[in-house]
Structure 1
Amino acid sequence: MCADTPETAGPDYRDTVFLPETAFAMRAGLPAREPEWLARWERLGVYDRLRASGKDRPPFVLHDGPPYANGHLHIGHALNKVLKDMVVRSQQMMGRDARYVPGWDCHGLPIEWKIEEQYRAKGLNKDDVDVVAFRQECRKFAEGWIDVQRAEFKRLGITGKWDRPYLTMDYHAEAVIADEFMKFLMNGSLYQGSKPVMWSPVEKTALAEAEVEYHDHTSHTIWARFPVVKATDTLFTKTRTDVVIWTTTPWTIPQNRAVAYGPGIAYGLYEIIGRPEQSTLTIGHRLILADALAEGVFAQAKLAGPEMVRRLGDVRADDLQGMVCAHPYRGIAEGMGEWDYDVPVLPGDHVTDDAGTGFVHTAPSHGDDDYQMGLKFGLPMTWNVEADGSYRSDLPVFGGQAILTPDGKEGPANVSNIKALAAAGALLAKGKLKHSYPHSWRSKAPLIFRNTPQWFVAIDKPLDDGMDGYGDTIRARALNSINQLVTWTPQTGRNRLHSMIEARPDWVLSRQRAWGVPLTCFVKKGTRPDAPDFLLRNAEVNARITAAFEAEGADVWYVEGFKERVLAGIVDPADYDQVFDVLDVWFDSGSTHAFVLRDREDGTADGLADLYLEGTDQHRGWFHSSMLQACGTKGRAPYRGVLTHGFTLDEKGMKMSKSLGNTVAPQQVIDEYGADILRLWVAQSDYTVDLRIGKEILKGVADSYRRLRNTMRYMLGALHGFDEAERLPVEEMPELEQWVLHRLAELDADVRAGYSAYDFQGVFQKVFTFATTDLSAFYFDVIKDTLYCDGAQTLTRRAARTVLDLLYHRLTTWLAPILVFTMEEVWLERFPGAESSVHLIDIPETPASWRNDALGAKWAQVRQVRRVVTAALEVQRTAKVIGSSLEAAPVVHVENPALQAALQNVDLAQVTITSAIALTFGAAPAGAFTLAEVPGVGVEFAAAAGGKCQRCWQILPDVGTHTHAGVCKRCDTVLG
């Protein structure tokens, strides 16, 4: 109740009051000070100390999804790593041996592309450079960015084994990746196939689905006519009749091998009875179209209306079955016969009447549905498109023309095909369509589906590996792992990955690049890929390869004579070709469980991680590839839990883009506010959805931080000089302090449950609300008089200080995983030893006996009464009747029996910070102050009677009647 400084009139008792004392500044100065704590943790070796002291604790391993070693960190990196750090630190402080080995993905196209750019700038051609020398350039580039990113991650306060991270380009890692690949070779799931894959003409390589992103793209659209040349009913051949297809890829028309129809779709036969001048049709022409789409097609062809077209009748599935068309280019390659073949009309379950014409142009070399049709009906594949996205040079009419240019722009192929169709009289209509289209996430250039020989892992083939506990195919094992073995946070992650695995095709492993782990296999010369002896499967050869990679790295694969070296004495090297494709980098990162979790001493006994944690895009990325890879080599998922977070957006919910100027760089936030504010933004956000960040949001976060810091500062000041001799047993404490301990017991359970569920937002909200509402706005306010003015050895002051100490140890440790720098500062303010750190201790156990739900309910009611009193006094303060609540001695009328019971044995004057209070049980008189939300309580204002104590400022009748001038009885006793 007493103020921080007494009045100047009368005796000066300032030196007798226990005012707060602390060097903990209100201004944090985090940007300048955080590097000091980082250096301190480095000197202490905090991470290694925890490992050494935690050997007997149950392990917890969060396996790091490796970021790519290419460029500075963006805000998504910061979100991801801070979440991981909060998981690791909270698990450690709850009694686990929480290990975290950071890692980097080092191989792959982005780095290779950068080196090629450097070469082009110097006028060099990559293909003229020795491949090993080129790979060494890539390695140096990755090493440089690893050092940059490591420093940036550490600046965020991320704990981990930074002095020994894992790198996918380490020799051991490359050896294990090759060894894991060779397990697929040996279990029979690896095969070479020719099928359409996502292909980047710019980067000249196949891409996995995880390397593809979708952007709006404007495509040519055409409605093309395929003349019917054979049908079971002569109705369709005696008069010119065409099947009409629609496509957004005119460049695929030269590769057409069939037309697909939907067996359940209603089709009609339409006759042209009128025509505008620009139409390529003549009166009497007949077209077959899906009835649901016919009107739209004729509108595009400027043939809408009953004066232009009439419907002659139904075309049944029986009519379409066995129908054959001519390729629209039949005869245009004079004397070459390139397209002089029949085009069958075939049933396809993928055909709908949602858009187009109800017929799908089918080019098996350039689409998965088309490819599946080809497999089903024995359609031939075509090889018309080269790696650079151009037609083969000897293709009639279109030879050498580019579909996409080397810089990702549209080439002439689409327009050339449109013109060729028009010249052949086969173009019904044309247009443009803006739609979502696949692009490379690296070059940002559009992709094409292209038929190429690639290496695949068959995910539905029964495996010959003796591991059938969770299924005998990769897909079965993956689905069983998803459903039975993995905990998903949030649960929607399970559904997403399940649907992807359930529907995915075979895994394309090969890339036509140089910087990566090669597909370490050999093929027999002159042998078909489907022959049993096409692939060399030999355990001794595999062991030699693995040993060579372990000693010399994957570069050795490209050294002349390596084939002879590993095959010598086993088979004749001259009989085999060496494969020089490199593995999809997702196979690299998917294999990390083997060389990190399985092989490192800080890994796990069973090679499984407790948690994988990445963004939602990794359902088609790292979560996905790790699942497939491990199910092929371990028989199950390599993780027990998966946590996914959303993406980062600007304050308006827009995707961040440099061109829009709305990006937020982690270093900018650190420079202005400090890393703890960035970490607090993560903790305050719901990471299960997309997260917004920007200047106004960060200002709000900084305000929350200041309020919390003020709570900690008050606590530190009030605890100045506290020692163990002052500690009071819990059973001797007043009821108010026991209520605080009850709240601590409640919160301790909430915090542990929240951290166990990775609910950082829930943890912080509960602790923040407790610190600012229960403590700063209530308990600290109430006990200020006790702390300042009661005697040092009084039970009341000892109880309050003991509770403050218990609060301190819990608040600092509860919040240490989130505010790593600030809680270290709070800790060192009380425990400044050279070896001291809050990050070396656990969250203290909180006795269950502290919990007292009846007491909690009672004090919730007391605080309701307090609300009415303080609101009534605020009215008087606003009216200038009083300046301080100590000038009041209100009368409180309580009608509610439950509240009456709650107020028994409560010093309501202390709780309401008044000099006196009169409590009556009964209805409040007319005119008493009330609050609608607290019925049954009324307050009548009355001024406090007596003199003002010059030490505690309470107004009491006995002031001036004691030994020491101008003080109350309590203060006179303390003064002695």
Structure 2
Amino acid sequence: MSEQRDYRDTVFLPKTDFPMKAGLPQKEPGILARWQEIGLYDKLREERAGREKFILHDGPPYANGDMHIGHALNRILKDMVVRSQTLLGKDAPFVPGWDCHGLPIEWKVEEQYRKAKRDKKEVPPKEFRAECRAYAQGWVDVQRGQLKRLGLMADFDHPYLTMQFESEATIVSELMKFVEAGNLYRGSKPVMWSPVEETALAEAEVEYEDIVSTQIDVAFEIVECPNVPELVGAHAVIWTTTPWTIPVNQAIAYGPEVEYQIFTFPLDRRKYLIARPLMDACLERLQMVNIFPSEGSAEAFRRARGTVIKGSDLAGTVARHPMHHLGGFYAAPRPFLPGDFVTTDSGTGLVHMAPDHGEDDFELCKANGLEPVFAVMDDGRYRDDWPWLGGNDERRRSVINKPFNAPEGPICSDLREAGALLAASDDYQHSYPHSWRSKAKVIFRCTPQWFVPMDRPLDVGDFDVAVPEGFGAAIALFTSKDHSTLREIALREIDRVEFFPPKGQNRLRSMVEGRPDWVLSRQRAWGVPITLFVRPDGSYLQDPAVNARVVAAIAKEGVDAWDESRKAEFLGLDHDPADYEMVTDILDVWFDSGCTHAFTLEGDRWPDQRWPADLYLEGSDQHRGWFQSSLLESSATRGRAPYDAVLTHGFTMDARGKKMSKSLGNTIDPLKVMQEYGADIIRLWALSVDFTEDHRIGDEILKGVGDQYRKLRNTFRYMLGALDGYVGDLSDTTEIPELELYVLSLLADLDAKMRQAVEEYDYNTYTRLLVDFCNEDLSAFFFDIRKDRLYCDGADDPQRNAYRAVLDILFHALVRYAAPVLVFTAEEVWQTRYPEDGEQGGSVHLLDWPSIPQVGVDTERWAQLRTLRDRVMEAIEPLRRDKTIRSGLEADVVVPAALVPDGFTDAQLAELFITASVTRGDSDAVTVTRTTDHKCGRCWRLLPEVTEDGALCARCEDVVTQMDAAT
């Protein structure tokens, strides 16, 4: 036999410079630099000018600290929204923003002062605010760089900041809309208060943790009871887990429908009053069921329990405070008041009322003429002039101090000495609110604050605040007033807005239904001032001209403009400065962020934006925060929500489903992940998980994402190589094989599903569809079958050209589908095939959604064939494992005739199954044997026509002859 020729140089192997190894950490910064150089974001705005708008309004992250994995997920989702809507052909500008005011930043600056042993109170307010501003700006710059590194497409050169003078002016102008419409009031109500930070807190600024508290039972001696005279001299028993509130008790609440029982303590014949259903539990706390020398005496005690009365019989009853001997405040009688909130779930069925420190307490006492006494100061200590634990009492501590409330602490000790403490133990476990910044316990504390009423009819649209041009002037939405309450408008809007996932609607609704009036004021320095002039009687000035002067000054100079020295200037000639006090409180930062729609979507600072937004997107915690504050602010000033849809994502857990914590050492740093894997890997992870629920990340999960990425990358690498030199299109092909038509039909189906996924913000489905199509329909099926045709058919063979024409369609579609997910890789793929596009400043991210040809194919028939193909490959595998054959090309296969769809010849089946031959049999099983045919020396197929191993089949003979003739 003569020496065999080497035919490798006659085979058309894929050819590309696109590397299999991605090297993303090294490559991505260069791509970012090019985008910056060509001004990609601005170029995209020019390309999309005049098209349908899509506005995603950015919820402001806090300018404090490095980006964490939760931030990364949030930002990638937002980028996916913007890029996918842009891909659909819309104009989707995106303005990133930052929340810059508020306690966290102020707290950090104070920490720096404490380290330097400097007292904040000695620092001039303007200097302090300047340091807060500089601190916030520093973190804005850091986070902006980190977000750019993630590949986000946004107007990073012109972000919105709540501390920009124009933003502060708009926030004030929005507040003035409340003021001029009378939708603001000053009142004293118990609010959550942080004694550590010395300010009121919003619900969104509070987190709940399990703690162990002291529980006490205290006796109040009854001195009057017109309906049940035998109660005079008896003691009403109250139970509480906040001993520190006893010094401000003013009344006792009872349940009108609750049954109460009088019992007499056998040793001293003292009478006590407790709710009958709670008697045994209470006596067990008081250990009164175990003090008898014999079972008989205990049983006699149980039988001897006295009169049962109804709660309504307690009307007119009066007790005296256990510390009545101190006189003054404590000498006043403590009336019994009916409370529908009194239950028999726990305690004694009698509730001590401290209107300073409880919402129910406040409302009930106020309705009965009992006002708060404001005994607890900002730092959580009792006033210097307070008769119990005030003044120079060396035991005076902050009320959140655990020893202060302990069974041996001053409260319990004094009550014990007064004979009023019946039981005390420090073993009561419950959930309690803490400040999420300082992590310290908060208290309910009654203080004068500014509120927006939830249930008072509003005058929506009846305002005309003069605002400097471009600073978010009010928009006229209504021709007549809407006199609904803020709660009613907000709930109506919640029903109108679309929620993704739908459960977000019920979550937000339940919060708005039950929320109290909105507390706007905070007692801090770093924030937007509540720019009100208040009269001695508590009313405030409602003068549009004054308000306009204040807004203009803040627009020019920022919040420092609100200064006592400018009081006369702001009030003008129509008002005497002596008649007014300037409010020194600042606004709740949730009001700041709730106004971002006004200074970002309205006005001319960002002319490519529009109001309202199509979408707000944040984590599920923002139902309590930004979603709600934006809804309330806009509902009160515009009569509708500032958004038409809300998308919510869950929280990122570690690989075991646990909450991430630095102390547990289970955090994943996105900055380190980018250094090791690249930003595209984080993006692929974020868009692969079901982000609407809590989801996981970890090293093994990231490795799995890396495997997915490699498969996608290799799909593009194969297409780039297969399309080397290709410049035609499908119209150049006269005859298209049915397999190619079937793949085009699969692509059309994929296209429709991915469009739907974009419309529903279902990005994990979007990403999964893309990955599965590339892996299952292309790599494992279409590419696998057609590699023989690509490698071995003649260069101009019509069927080879048909395959490459379909590859071209696939390439243009898939690189676009991938672009919002793998922003760097898609750009690399595009520039590899079209380098001249890069030279001209082009980018894959400037392209529109692909146009997919519609073809008619019986896809069900092909689905049946693929099922049969899977069975054939499964039957071949055992022979390949035991090395009877090396691949399916060496297999002769017999398939059940009944399972072969109509219209396929045996030769076509062999080509589709990549086997030596396929015949049909009557058996239900697939059988495989090693073929006796010889192997073609060029295409490696084993065919009857090949006379000996290494000889050529007829096809390869023709191709080689033509190539030899050409050279």
Distance 2:666 2:347 in 1: 39
C-alpha separation between the residues in 2 aligned to 1:23 and 1:99? 34
Aligned twin of 1:548: 553
Given the superposition, is the C-alpha separation of residues 672 and 605 from structure 1 closer, same or farther in structure 2, using an over 3 Å criterion?
A: closer
Bigger mean CA offset, 767-776 vs 375-384: 375-384
- What letter corresponds to residue 257 of structure 1 in structure 2? Q
Whether 1:412 aligns to 2:404 is yes
Q: Deviations over 1:617-662 (max 9, x none)?
A: 1111111111111111111111111111111111111111111111
In structure 2, the residue matched to 1:932 is none
Structure 1's 731 and 242: CA in aligned 2 closer, same or farther, altered over 3 A?
Answer: farther
- Determine the structure 1 residue equivalent to 2:766: 763
The equivalent of 1:618 in structure 2 is: 622
**Given the alignment of the two structures, is residue 646 of structure 1 paired with residue 650 of structure 2, yes or no?**
yes
Letter paired with 1:454:
Q
Q: Distance in 2 between matches of 1:235 and 1:602?
A: 75
286, 293, 318: which one aligns with 1:301:
286
- Of residues 413-422 and 641-650 in structure 1, the stretch that sits farther from structure 2 once superposed is 413-422
Among all aligned residue pairs of Structure 1 and Structure 2, give the percentage whose two residues are the same amino acid.
50
- Whether the aligned pair in 1 keeps the contact of 2:740 and 2:802 (CA below 8 Å) is yes
- d(CA) in 2 for partners of 1:236 and 1:219? 35
Residue in 1 that maps onto 2:944: 957
**Partner SS for 1:225:** strand
1:901 paired residue number: 902
Q: Is the 8 A contact 2:382 2:396 kept in 1?
A: no
Q: Verify the 8 A CA contact 1:390 1:402 in the aligned structure 2.
A: no
> In structure 2, the residue corresponding to 1:439 is in which secondary structure?
strand
Question: Following the alignment from structure 1 to structure 2, what is the Cα–Cα distance between the partners of residues 384 and 535?
Answer: 27
Could you tell me how far 1:410 is from its partner in structure 2? 3.5
1:60 deviates by 0.6
> 214, 224, 228: which one pairs with 2:222?
228
C-alpha spacing 1:903/1:271, structure 2 compared with 1 (3 Å): farther
Q: CA deviation at 1:284?
A: 2.1
Letter in 2 for 1:440: S
* Paired residues of 1:598 and 1:604 also in contact (CA < 8 A): no
Aligned length: 928
Residue 192 of structure 1 aligns to a residue whose secondary structure is: strand
Q: Does 1:492 pair with 2:503?
A: yes
1:641-685 deviation digits (Å, cap 9, x = unpaired): 111111111111111111111111111111111111111111111
Cα shift at 1:880: 2.4
Please name the residue that 1:277 is paired with. none
Q: Is the 8 A contact 2:435 2:442 kept in 1?
A: yes
Distance in 2 (CA, whole Å) between partners of 1:267 and 1:100 is 64
Deviation at 1:292, TM superposition (A): 2.5
Moved more, 689-698 or 227-236: 227-236
RMSD: 2.2
Q: Are residue 463 (structure 1) and residue 458 (structure 2) matched? A: yes
1:628 to 626, 632, 637: 632
Q: Would you say 1:268 and 2:267 are equivalent positions?
A: no
Q: Kindly provide the CA deviation profile for residues 917-975 of structure 1, in whole angstroms up to 9, marking residues without a partner as x.
A: 2234xx31xxxxxxxxxxxx4323344343321110112222259xx982111111212
Quote how far apart the aligned CAs of 1:358 are.
1.5
Cα distance in structure 1, aligned partners of 2:638 and 2:797: 66
**Is residue 2:600 matched to residue 1:596?**
yes
Q: Distance in 2 between matches of 1:949 and 1:404?
A: 98
The 1-side partners of 2:858 and 2:756 are apart by 23
3-state SS of 1:385 partner:
coil
Structure 2: stretches of 5+ with no match in the other structure:
291-297, 463-477, 963-967
Amino acid at match of 2:721: G
Q: Deviations over 1:401-442 (max 9, x none)?
A: 699968975363662111111111111111122221111111
Shift of 1:38: 0.9
State the partner residue of 2:895. 892
Give the 5 Å matches for 1:40-51.
40-51=34-45
Q: Which amino acid aligns with 1:157?
A: G
> Who is 1:570 aligned against?
574
* CA contact 1:402–1:411 (8 Å) conserved in 2: no
5 Å-filtered alignment, 1:196-215, equals 196-215=190-209
> Which of 263-272 and 382-391 deviates more?
263-272
1:483 and 2:492 correspond: no
Query: Partner residue of 1:340?
Result: 331
Alignment match, 1:528: 537
Task: Give yes or no for contact 2:650–2:691 (8 Å, CA) kept in 1.
Answer: yes
Q: Supply the distance in 1 between the matched residues of 2:361 and 2:193 (Cα, whole angstroms).
A: 16
Show the 5 A alignment for 1:40-439. Answer: 40-238=34-232, 240-273=233-266, 282-304=267-289, 306-307=298-299, 308-309=301-302, 310-331=304-325, 333=326, 336-400=327-391, 409-410=401-402, 412=404, 415-432=409-426, 433-439=428-434
Match of 2:475 in 1: none
Q: Is the 8 A contact 1:201 1:389 kept in 2?
A: yes
Shift in alpha-carbon separation, 1:489–1:474, aligned structure 2, 3 A: same
Q: Which position in structure 1 is the counterpart of 2:913?
A: 912
Structure 1 residues 88-111: Cα deviation after superposition (integer angstroms, max 9, x where no partner): 111110111111100011111111
Q: Structure 2 counterpart of 1:590, which letter?
A: G
Residue identity opposite 1:348 in structure 2: G
Q: 1:885 to 1:562 in 2, by over 3 A?
A: same
Structure 1 position 844 matched with structure 2 position 850: yes
The amino acid that maps onto 2:502 is Q
Q: Distance in 2 between matches of 1:404 and 1:640?
A: 53
Structure 1 gaps of 5+ residues are: 1-6, 274-281, 925-936
Q: 2:675 is aligned with what amino acid?
A: D
Kindly indicate whether the alpha-carbon contact (under 8 Å) linking 1:58 and 1:97 is maintained by their aligned counterparts in 2. yes
Partner of residue 294, structure 2: none
Alpha carbons of 1:469 and 1:765: their partners in 2 closer, same or farther (altered >3 Å)? farther
Q: Secondary structure at the match of 1:684?
A: coil
Q: Which residue of 1 aligns with 2:965?
A: none
Q: Is the 8 A contact 1:862 1:903 kept in 2?
A: no
Alignment check: 8 A CA contact 1:288 1:315 kept: no
Contact kept? 1:402, 1:412, Cα under 8 Å = no
CA distance in 1, matches of 2:166, 2:360: 40
Displacement after TM superposition at 1:234 (Å): 3.8
The aligned counterpart of 2:925 is 938
- Tell me what 1:708 maps to: 712
Give me the whole-angstrom Cα distance separating, in 2, the residues matched to 1:163 and 1:553.
21
2:821: which partner in 1? 818
Alpha-carbon distance, 1:892 to partner: 2.1
Distance apart, 1:902 and its partner CA:
6.0
Worse-superposed segment, 398-407 or 309-318? 398-407
The answer as to whether partners of 1:861 and 1:902 remain within 8 angstroms in 2 is no
Q: How far, CA to CA, are the matches of 1:8 and 1:918 in structure 2?
A: 34
CA shift for structure 1 position 728: 4.7
Partner of 1:474: 486
* TM alignment of 1:673-684, pairs within 5 A: 673-684=677-688
Amino acid at match of 2:758: Y
Structure 1 counterpart of 2:350, one-letter code: F
Instruction: Name the CA shift for 1:8/1:562 in 2 (closer, same or farther; >3 Å).
Output: farther
* Corresponding residue for residue 295 of structure 2: none
Distance 1:402 1:709, change over 3 A: farther
Measured after TM superposition, the shift of residue 449 of structure 1 is 1.0
**TM-aligned CA deviation for residue 804 of structure 1:** 1.0
2:847 maps to a residue whose letter is I
Q: 1:974 aligns with which of 955, 959, 963?
A: 959
Query: Judging changes above 3 Å, is the alpha-carbon distance between structure 1 residues 208 and 844 closer, same or farther for their aligned structure 2 residues?
Result: same
CA contact (8 A) 1:204 1:388 kept: yes
Distance change (3 Å), C-alpha of 1:460 and 1:317: same
Structure 1 equivalent of residue 465 of structure 2: none
Q: What TM-score, normalized to structure 2?
A: 0.93
Please report how far the alpha carbon of residue 731 of structure 1 lies from its aligned counterpart in structure 2 after TM superposition.
Answer: 7.3
Letter in 2 for 1:436: S
Q: C-alpha separation between the residues in 2 aligned to 1:14 and 1:693?
A: 46
Larger deviation: 597-606 or 67-76? Answer: 597-606
Q: Distance in 1 between matches of 2:3 and 2:942?
A: 15
1:67 & 1:728 partners in 2: Cα distance? 51
The answer to whether the 8 A contact 1:11-1:966 is kept is: no
